Amino acid sequence: MPKRLILLGGGHAHLRVLKHLIEHKPAELEVLLVSPSPWQYYSGMLPGLLAGDYALQDCRVDLASIARRAGVSLIIAAVEHWDAPQRLLDLSDGRSLSYDLLSVNTGSETQLGELQAVGDVLLPIKPLDHFYQRCQQLFDAYAPGDTATVAVVGGGAAGAEIAMAVQQALQTRSLCADTLLITGKCGVLAGHANAVKRRLRQLLQHKGIEVIASRARAIEPGRLEVGDKQLRVDLLIATTGARAPDWLKPAGVSLAKDGFIAVNACQQSLSHPEVFAVGDVASRVDKPLDKSGVHAVKAGGVLCHNLLAAAKAQTLKPYKPRPVSLYLLNTADGKALLSWGPLTAQGAWVLKWKHWLDSTFIREFNE
């Protein structure tokens, strides 16, 4: 039995591991959880939080509480440097930690690329808590009746939901919202069924959210070039896809082409068998998966089995993703839009269902 297991990051899969450890922690195994925040925010509820459906405390898991109940030591710090061959992690609080087994579930960062020159008005969607706080500060700076031009860049489900939620949040504060959704050439919801895209485009049009299917490039603070137009923006929200954190590259662990940790079907590193990785930070080489919370959640049970199996030199299990993932998009009007393979639906009942699923998830881990 190895002596020390480190859970790096309080992501979705680690919540499942912590929950399991509450009743099944091997006494001889020391487990540490490293997280920069005592809270794990749930991205699926962020649009509802912005739109005013939830309070902040409804959308987060208390890592300190679940770690305590699981007999796990919580260290509030971020990893800044990882030496995989030496099995060493250097943390932001100056500590160095060694491990026998490591599980990485630290998510991803936001691709900012050509948007950075837009300056202070640029707001990456991650980390979610920083994003939410800065949004509130920026919104508070306006007086009722002011006009705010907000560009959301990114045509995925997160971009569409955030555009609708921000518009609703501004209107609730009696501001005139001029909201743009800039999607790149692929348009909205690339990879979803045409019927879903059609519904969403109608909805955005009805709400007065302009969709621009061109690439955005910042040219100076507050100014963007989009296709052949130049636009001045008060706020630019980047939901532009997942980027690997900088500390992975020098770690000496095998990385996939996209820069994330290369793992096999058992979510185990290709180069270091004592390392497991799940969620956005991992890339399956046998079966590329979307960077989506669904996989981080669903792989949690398998990760848990595999960490304990690896500790006892037992057989690992593969994570077998479902062929089609369910997406429920909060449309910030008391309704939600369902996308499940070729199927789509929209209505208040979809939002009720989404609310039930999301709040059940949070309740499962909070005391």
Contact 233, 150 (CB under 8 A): yes
- CB of 75 vs ligand FAD, minimal distance in Å: 9
Instruction: Point out which span in 20-28, 42-50, 66-74, 359-367 binds ligand FAD (CB under 6 A).
Output: 42-50
Among 18, 35, 135, 203, binds ligand FAD (CB under 6 A): 35
Contact 200/189 with Cβ under 8 angstroms?
yes
Tell which one of 43, 171, 254, 271 touches ligand FAD (CB under 6 A): 43
Give 328's contacts (C-beta < 8 A, 6+ positions apart): 336, 337, 338, 339, 350, 351, 353, 354, 357
- The only residue of 7, 59, 74, 78 in contact with ligand FAD, by rule CB under 6 A: 78
Q: How many residues does the chain have?
A: 367
**Of positions 291, 298, 305, 355, contacts ligand FAD by CB under 6 A:** 291
Binding mask 189-218 for ligand FAD (x = CB under 6 A): ------------------------------
Pick from 5, 6, 7, 12 the residue near ligand FAD by CB under 6 A. Answer: 12
- Torsions phi, psi of 247, nearest 5? -75, -5
337 forms part of the interface with ligand FAD (CB under 6 A): no
SS3 121: helix
The angle, 0 to 180 degrees and rounded to 10, between the axes of the packed helices 293-311 and 12-24 is 40
CB atoms within 10 A of CB 213: 15
Shortest reach from residue 6's CB to ligand FAD, in Å:
10
Which one of the spans 37-45, 207-215, 253-261, 334-342 is the region binding ligand FAD (CB under 6 A)? Answer: 37-45
Assess contact for 70 and 243: CB atoms under 8 A: no
- Closest to 200 in 3D by CA, of 290, 325, 331, 352: 331
Q: Which residue number has the CB closest to ligand FAD?
A: 279
> How many angstroms separate the CA atoms of 307 and 149, rounded?
48
* 36 near ligand FAD, rule: CB under 6 A: yes
Q: Which of these, 48, 54, 37, lies nearest to 107 by C-alpha position?
A: 37
The single residue among 97, 162, 307, 310 that binds ligand FAD, judged by CB under 6 A, is: 162
Site size toward ligand FAD (CB under 6 A) is 33
Q: Contact region for ligand FAD (CB under 6 A) — 114-122, 206-214, 262-270, 274-282?
A: 274-282
Among the listed residues 308, 323, 228, the one whose alpha carbon sits nearest the alpha carbon of residue 276: 308
Token couple for 203: 């909805």
Q: Using the minimum distance from each CB to ligand FAD, give the nearer residue, 165 or 175.
A: 165
**Is 34 exposed, middle or buried (CB count within 10 Å of its CB: 0-12, 13-18, 19+)?**
buried
Residues 229-258 binding ligand FAD (CB under 6 A) are 239
Query: What track of x and - describes contact with ligand FAD for positions 88 through 117 (by CB under 6 A)?
Result: -----------------xxx----------
How far apart CA 103 and CA 8 sit, in angstroms, is: 6
Question: Looking at 49, 101, 115, 158, which residue binds ligand FAD (CB under 6 A)?
Answer: 158
Specify the stretch interacting with ligand FAD by CB under 6 A; choose among 5-13, 133-141, 166-174, 331-339: 5-13
Helices marked H in 148-281: 157-172, 194-207
At closest approach, how far in Å is the CB of 101 from ligand FAD?
A: 16
* Interface with ligand FAD, residue 344, by CB under 6 A: no
Q: How far is the CB of 235 from ligand FAD (least distance, A)?
A: 15
Among 67, 279, 306, 346, binds ligand FAD (CB under 6 A): 279
Which one of the spans 182-190, 215-223, 275-283, 342-350 is the region binding ligand FAD (CB under 6 A)? 275-283
The closest of 26, 20, 36 to 74, measured between CA atoms, is 36
What dihedral angle (degrees, nearest 10) is formed by the CA atoms of 160, 164, 166, 171? 160
- Which spans of this chain sit near ligand FAD (rule: CB under 6 A)? 8-13, 34-37, 40, 43-44, 46-47, 78-79, 105-107, 125, 158, 161-162, 239, 279-281, 291-294, 296
